[in-house]
Amino acid sequence: MTDTIRSDAFVFFGATGDLAYKKIFPALQGMIRRGHLDVPIIGVAKQGWGIEQLRDRIRASLTEHGGGVDERAFTKLSERLAYVDGDYNDLETFRQLSRKLGDAKHPVHYLAIPPSLFPVVVQNLAASGSAKGARVIIEKPFGRDLASARQLNRTLHEVFDESAIFRIDHYLGKEAVQNLVVFRFANTFLEPVWNRNYIESIQITMAESFGVQGRGSFYEEAGAIRDVVQNHLLSVVGFLAMEPPATTYNESIRDELVKVFRQIAPLDVNNIVRGQFDGYQREPGVKPGSNVETFAAMRLDIDSWRWADVPFFIRAGKCMPVTETEVMVDFKRPPITKLARGTDNYVRLRLTPDLKIALGARVKRPGDEMVGEPTELSLLEQPKGDEVGAYERLLGEAIDGDPALFSRQDAVEAAWKVVEPALDLEKAVEPYSRGSWGPAACDLMTRDVGGWLSSQPLR
């Protein structure tokens, strides 16, 4: 099967699960509404359900998470929908799936299930003949560390070629994250200053005002570094730091991301702050005395001609004052200090909840004195609208066979190498109050560059 062959059936395991309820069903409705999905859709799960119960589940999902039921799209979805109820360990489940697939030659199988189930599902897909000519989509985490990521890859490669494996990180499908690439490389004025000669530091903040939302057991296995740093935030670093991708082949962006990851030195444990919000250990599913971090801050250094000596700071945490993901690119102070008394030149790239691109600059303060004052020039303010959702975009790309927005194995391994020194540290996490910006030690990390800029008012 070549990259250009479009999948002729969409199968999703975990059809009755939380991910399907919150993300997959709304994405499928969106794809149908836009005319992007016209193939059979087959859900697989072990719930003791029939097709009508699954349809009811989809309707509830669209009401709660899909912006409402589009009756026309829902009717088409229902007509194309089939359901297999059975145990993943039972080969008969996969024989039923094979019969449902009928004449489909190139299905795509989406494993929206716990990673521990990947091996048995992949092997039974092969045993039933349903893997022939097929693609497979797997959800993060891609392992828990470098060794397990490699083992997962070996398991997948027993059945699927690398070109047929789509490792989905929904963050890469977000409109705002893709805007990073366009903003960087479609604007000539940025390139002369996008380097160590003009940039003081780059800071990335991923703040969430809520806690673990009943997912204590999951968070005990993950923690902030595995959950969002190794994947989401390192990808943002890659887009900010990468060299211009070639436009002549579709792997160019993924090639440039891997180059960046390989140039990042493994994390220095002395440049890491791990925190845990007050009350985390009372959450259901959390182990007594847990040392799992709900907050992590760190400094990264990229050993390249463009970025030598420019610190990249990352922080991510639960129970923060706001929910937003923001990049602050802080430029060096100009030499005329009378006109520019502060470090107020920056680019602000807000990725969530709304897309915002702004420039921090100084203009003359009204009056007789020739003195500057800070202001912010908004280049783009885009409230969340009817843009294509991340899952809708990524599932469509997988069906079309375009891997550009999916994680490649060499990038997965390079990212694990960066964060591995920070995994499962024995040093106790530092407590922090709900609604704060994390442990006090976090502020010391950026004191030489003016502090964490996202938590400061307009300067």
Domain boundaries along the sequence of the chain: 9-139, 172-389+407-455
Identified catalytic residue from 106, 109, 170, 232: 232
Separation of alpha carbons 291 and 269, rounded Å? 16
The per-residue DSSP string of 244-301 comes to PPPSSSTTHHHHHHHHHHHHBPPPPGGGEEEEEETTGGGSTTPPTT----SEEEEEE-
> Tens digit of pLDDT for each residue in 92-136?
999 999 999 999 999 999 999 888 899 999 999 999 999 999 999
Considering only CA atoms, which of 334, 364, 338, 358 is closest in space to residue 346? 358
User: And the tokens for 199?
Assistant: 């940039």
> Tens digit of pLDDT for each residue in 418-447?
999 999 888 999 999 999 999 999 999 999
> Tens digit of pLDDT for each residue in 356-399?
899 888 777 787 777 777 788 888 887 665 456 888 989 999 99
Q: Count Cβ atoms below 10 Å from residue 419 Cβ, excluding itself.
A: 24
Q: Phi first, then psi: what are they for 410, rounded to 5°?
A: -65, -30
Please name the residues in contact with 103: beta carbons below 8 A apart, sequence gap of 6 or more. Answer: none
- Which CATH topology does 172-389+407-455 take? Dihydrodipicolinate Reductase; domain 2 (3.30.360)
pLDDT at 459: 42
> Tens digit of pLDDT for each residue in 218-277?
888 889 999 899 989 999 999 999 999 887 677 888 899 999 999 999 999 999 999 999
Evaluate the CA torsion angle 270, 423, 310, 445 in order and state its sign.
Answer: negative
Domain 9-139 homologous superfamily, CATH:
NAD(P)-binding Rossmann-like Domain (3.40.50.720)
Its pTM surpasses 0.85: yes
pLDDT at 18: 87
Angle at 416 between CA 256 and CA 430, to 5 degrees: 125
Round the CA-based radius of gyration of the chain to a whole number and report it.
Answer: 24
Q: Phi first, then psi: what are they for 373, rounded to 5°?
A: -135, 150
Q: Is 232 a catalytic residue?
A: yes
Task: Provide the pairing of β-strand 9-13 with 107-111.
Answer: parallel
Separation of alpha carbons 193 and 347, rounded Å? 11
Considering only CA atoms, which of 351, 125, 138 is closest in space to residue 232? 351
Contact 297, 442 (CB under 8 A): yes
